[in-house]
């Protein structure tokens, strides 16, 4: 497998008291190109589960397309359904069951269920329809599959459908399509009334028209729902998130159009979409929304296009990206925050020096390795503390700026050392072992996933406020 590492700086602008400051959160995007079949030139990944199994399609040396899986970095062919056409695996659960389809012609297609042994079965149609008039889109942890089942001729009206263990479980009614289902059995999709379409939620036997939620549009589609009930899709023609009775448009990275649906969401609230560029040659890029930030996932070197399809609980994303050969290749993206990032400016001290904060190591709630936060260019032989909070807020403070909101926490007092008094210079330094601090348990708020913003405060008798301040650091506590 080939792996490319891309580091994308994402700027969050914070405005107050007429001044603008920016914290730079840096994300590292790792694109791993999955193996091809021997002699093959094309592959595409469609789904990934929480065990790391990936399914998709790939061609062989003759150009014939096959249904495939990737396990432990190895590709292998899995059985296809007997009907002519390519069996496409659209979704995958942790038991290894797959939901997918095979297109025959026109709107004739089979909805497929692969059991955990990778054996495919065509799902039954409506009593008034045919097995060849169905399409499966998603599967949940219990093995419930959602999709579309059509009536027979002459109307061929589509019905949202739920299948379980190879049988039709629920008919959601005419003029509906079911695209997503969570582990609680809540289903989302679209319904049509005349010329209008609207996103719906079906839960405990009840339909909810999502266009009636605050901000809802007259034309909308819902594609996926997580176990918290967050829903993603398209509302008023742009990528959108439905949450707690309202819908909001999702911002896009610079240069990418938001006229595209968000297509998947995990329980952490990570969302994905494929967006088109807004200028220059037409291209597509995969997009991830994480912690309120839109991240351009990039593509393989030499390529201009990437498309995302599914995201798992860990935030790993699969899809396809164009290579320099112009062929698409199955890829997996892994996006991680750089362990710690510094931002904004320090208060210049009475000796004209600018203190600087830095860190070495990775923050962890359990790892014995160190994560040391330090400050340099501070006055010698002065007491100081590292203080921190859990929400960023920039406010004037003692002649400089404080970069976190209250309440804040203080660590033990330390001395900066450096040149012996009575000399006064900027040879002082501070150093604080933050992992050791986490693992004392003295601050129960320091848990895995907690975001922290902090800076050093120190004494400076030559300053009007008699204090000094470094710039700030931001990090997320890992496991």
Q: DSSP readout, 130-150?
A: -TTBEEEEEE-TT--EEEEEE
At 26 the pLDDT is 63
**Residue 9: predicted pLDDT:** 41
pLDDT of amino acid 448: 86
Closest CA to 394 of 18, 71, 90: 18
Distance CA 320, CA 196 (A): 32
**Angstrom distances, CA of residue 336 to CA of 59, 79, 153, 253:** 31, 35, 51, 17
**How much is the pLDDT for 6?**
53
In this predicted structure, the answer to whether residue 20 has a pLDDT above a threshold of 60 is no
pLDDT tens digits along 327-385: 999 999 998 877 788 999 999 999 999 999 999 888 888 887 889 999 999 999 999 99
pLDDT at 28: 78
pTM comes to 0.75
Mean pLDDT in residue range 151-180: 95
Q: How confident is the model at residue 83 (pLDDT cuts 50, 70, 90)?
A: low
- The whole-number pLDDT of residue 435 equals 94
Average pLDDT over residues 33-56: 98
pLDDT digits (tens, 9 = 90+) for 177-224: 999 999 999 999 999 988 889 999 999 999 999 999 998 877 899 999
pLDDT at 1: 66
Report the percentage of the chain scoring pLDDT > 90.
80
pLDDT over threshold 50, residue 7: no
Region 244-258 average pLDDT:
94
| 5 has a pLDDT exceeding 60 | no
Structure tokens at 27: 């994300």
In this predicted structure, the answer to whether residue 297 has a pLDDT above a threshold of 70 is: yes
**pLDDT for the residue 293:** 86
pLDDT reported for residue 19: 32
User: Mean pLDDT throughout 449-464?
Assistant: 95
Alpha carbon distance 161, 145 (integer Å): 8
Over 60: is that where the pLDDT of 12 sits? no
Mean pLDDT of the 161-172 span: 97
Domains and CATH numbers, the chain: 2-337 (2.130.10.150), 340-476 (2.60.40.10)
- In order of 20, 41, 406, 407, the CA distances from 17 in angstroms are 8, 57, 17, 20
Query: Residue 120: pLDDT band by 50, 70, 90 thresholds?
Result: very high
The pLDDT assigned to 14 comes to 31
> What are the beta bridge partners of residue 102?
87, 110
Q: Residue 81 carries which DSSP code?
A: P
Question: Does residue 286 have a pLDDT over 50?
Answer: yes
pLDDT at 82: 83
Looking at the predicted structure, is the pLDDT value of residue 3 above 70?
Answer: no
**Average model confidence (pLDDT) for the chain?**
92
Residue 347's closest CA among 465, 232, 468, 219?
468
Mean pLDDT of the region 69-81: 96
- How far, in Å, CA of 319 to CA of 26, rounded? 23
Q: Which of 13-27, 153-167, 419-433, 459-473 has the lowest mean pLDDT?
A: 13-27
The pLDDT assigned to 90 comes to 98
CA distance 409 to 418: 26
* Residue pointed to by tokens 């062929």: 327
The per-residue pLDDT for range 397-438, each reduced to its tens digit, is 999 999 999 999 999 999 999 999 999 999 999 999 999 999
Run of H or E residues at 167: strand 167-174
């Amino acid at each position: 497998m080939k792996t490319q590492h891309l580091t994308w700086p994402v700027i969050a602008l914070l405005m107050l008291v007429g001044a603008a400051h920016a914290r730079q959160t840096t994300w590292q995007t790792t694109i791993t190109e999955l193996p091809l079949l021997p002699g093959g030139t094309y592959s595409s990944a469609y789904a990934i589960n929480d065990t790391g199994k990936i399914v998709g399609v790939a061609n062989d040396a003759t150009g014939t397309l096959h249904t495939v899986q990737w396990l432990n970095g190895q590709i292998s062919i899995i059985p296809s359904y007997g009907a002519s056409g390519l069996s496409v695996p659209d979704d995958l659960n942790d038991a290894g069951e797959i939901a997918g389809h095979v297109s025959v012609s026109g709107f004739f297609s089979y909805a497929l269920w692969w059991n955990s042994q990778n054996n495919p079965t065509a799902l039954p149609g409506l009593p008034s329809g045919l097995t060849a008039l169905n399409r499966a889109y998603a599967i949940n942890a219990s093995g419930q599959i959602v999709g579309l089942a059509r009536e027979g001729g002459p109307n061929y009206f589509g019905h949202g459908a739920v299948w379980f263990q190879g049988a039709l479980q629920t008919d959601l009614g005419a003029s509906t399509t079911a695209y997503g289902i969570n582990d609680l059995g809540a289903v989302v999709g679209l319904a049509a009334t005349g010329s209008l379409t609207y996103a719906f939620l079906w839960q405990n036997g009840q339909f909810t028209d999502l266009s009636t939620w605050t901000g809802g549009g007259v034309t909308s589609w819902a594609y996926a729902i997580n176990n918290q009930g967050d829903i993603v899709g398209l509302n008023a023609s742009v990528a959108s998130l439905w949450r707690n009775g309202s819908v909001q448009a999702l911002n896009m990275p610079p240069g990418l159009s938001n006229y595209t649906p968000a297509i998947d969401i995990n329980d952490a609230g990570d969302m994905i979409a494929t967006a088109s560029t807004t200028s220059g040659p037409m291209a597509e890029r995969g997009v991830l929304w994480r912690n309120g930030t839109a991240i351009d996932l990039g593509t393989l070197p030499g390529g201009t296009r990437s498309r995302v399809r599914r995201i798992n609980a860990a935030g790993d994303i699969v899809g396809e990206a164009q290579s320099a050969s112009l062929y698409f290749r199955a890829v997996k993206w892994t996006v991680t925050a750089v362990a710690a990032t510094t931002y904004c400016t320090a208060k210049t001290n009475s000796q004209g020096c600018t203190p600087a904060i830095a860190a070495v190591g990775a923050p962890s709630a359990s790892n014995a390795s160190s994560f040391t936060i330090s400050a340099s260019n501070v006055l010698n032989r002065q007491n100081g503390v590292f203080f921190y909070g859990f929400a960023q807020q920039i406010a004037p403070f003692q002649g400089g700026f404080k970069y976190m909101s209250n309440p804040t926490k203080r660590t033990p007092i330390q001395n900066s050392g450096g040149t012996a008094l009575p000399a006064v210079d900027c040879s002082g330094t501070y150093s604080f072992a933050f992992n050791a601090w986490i693992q004392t348990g003295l601050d129960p708020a320091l848990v895995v996933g907690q975001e922290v913003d902090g800076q050093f405060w120190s004494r400076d008798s030559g300053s009007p406020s008699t204090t000094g301040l470094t710039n700030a650091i931001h990090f997320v506590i890992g496991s």
